[in-house]
Amino acid sequence: MSSSYRFGDYEFSSRLIIGTGKYESFEQNLACVEASGAEMVTVALRRVNFDREKGPLLLDFIKPDRFTILPNTAGCYTVKDAVTTAHLGRELLDTKLIKLEVIGDDRTLFPDVAGTLEAAKILLDDGFVVLPYINDDPVACQRLEAMGCPAVMPLAAPIGSGLGVRNPTNLRIILETVEVPVIVDAGVGTASDAALAMELGATAVLMNTAIAHAKDPLAMAKAMRLGVEAGRLAYEAGRMPRRLYASASSPLDQIASF
Amino acid sequence: MNHGQNISVNGDPREVPVGCSLERLLCLLDLQNRRVAVAINRGIVPRARYAASIIEDGDRIEILEAVGGG
């Protein structure tokens, strides 16, 4: 098991954070959370649906006394909506944690950087522990860190796209630029994507669709756990330098001559 | 109690009696034991103030819960 990480008053040994959207059932969702080893789980806030038949609810399965629940502001396109949603999340879940999303465009779901910075400032002043979803933009990450965000969450690729780490060099620059934990959030498609993010030095990876929309979500949850762990261990181990030409692994002397 | 007040709950029009508290509205909606968070006209109402919050004509009430999301 690789080492734990922390931000603010929170400490986690699992470097995988997973979402709760798009699963076929709460049972499947819980099984995947358990298989992934995730300790922190994201949820969204939506209107109570009065038309829906009464039945079990998400938090009956993903219990707040078992997992750290990270509410998000997904679906918010304005600073005002994100701030109001964050406050409702705090009221609902008794948590200061908020995964801040201020979305700028509904096709790409890319963040509105200016809006994210503005909302982060307001929420930090209100005492929130703000985890901002942001572009893979080193300057934006630096601004968020300077403001007091205890971690930054640059995307690997658009939310739900499964395209993997599209800009590893920017992630590397972000990792060299900020000192707070860097949680790669969104865009991971399969275990090697998660491993790559971790090998680059990411502190943790947050994903939802890659597990929920795998053919076998439970198997993918296990794969992601292993991918994140393998990537972290490889990062800690330190990879060998790349070289253009071969370097024989077997001795070059005492080679027989027939 | 005959004079209803017109409010909206999660975007749908509803009528509640004059003097109806938020606590009472949540009971009427069968949400008294459910983990929800409420905003009235954008203002967040803490749980401790549900009983003391009296709904007024024209209020826009949003009642939210946690659902699956990433």
Q: What is the pLDDT of residue A52?
A: 79
Kindly indicate whether the ipTM for this predicted assembly is greater than 0.90, answering yes or no: yes
Q: How does pLDDT run along chain A (258 residues), one tens digit per residue?
A: 568 999 999 999 999 999 999 999 999 999 999 999 999 999 999 999 888 778 889 999 999 999 999 999 999 999 999 999 999 999 999 999 999 999 999 999 999 999 999 999 999 999 999 999 999 999 999 999 999 999 999 999 999 999 999 999 999 999 999 999 999 999 999 999 999 999 999 999 999 999 999 999 999 999 999 999 999 999 999 999 999 999 999 999 999 999
Report which residue type is found at A64: P
Distance CA A133, CA A158 (A): 11
Pair B5, B17: CB distance under 8 Å:
yes
Going B6 to A92 to A208 to A178, the CA torsion angle's sign is: positive
- Residue type at A156 in one-letter notation: A
- Encoded tokens for A249: 């692994």
Tokens representing B31 are: 């949400």
Backbone φ and ψ of A202, nearest 5°: -55, 150
CB B66 within 8 A of CB A115: no
Return residues 1-20 of A near B (CB < 8 Å): 19-20
Q: Testing the interface with A: which of B36, B60, B67 to mutate, by most A Cβ within 10 A?
A: B67
Rounded Cα gap, residues B70 and B57, in angstroms? 36
Position of tokens 């994100």?
A: A82
Three-point CA angle A138, A36, A219, nearest 5°: 115
**Is residue A88 less than 8 Å (CB to CB) from chain B?**
yes
Exposed / middle / buried, residue A134 (Cβ in 10 Å: 0-12, 13-18, 19+) = buried
Q: Which of A47, A58, A71 sits opposite B68 (nearest CB)?
A: A58
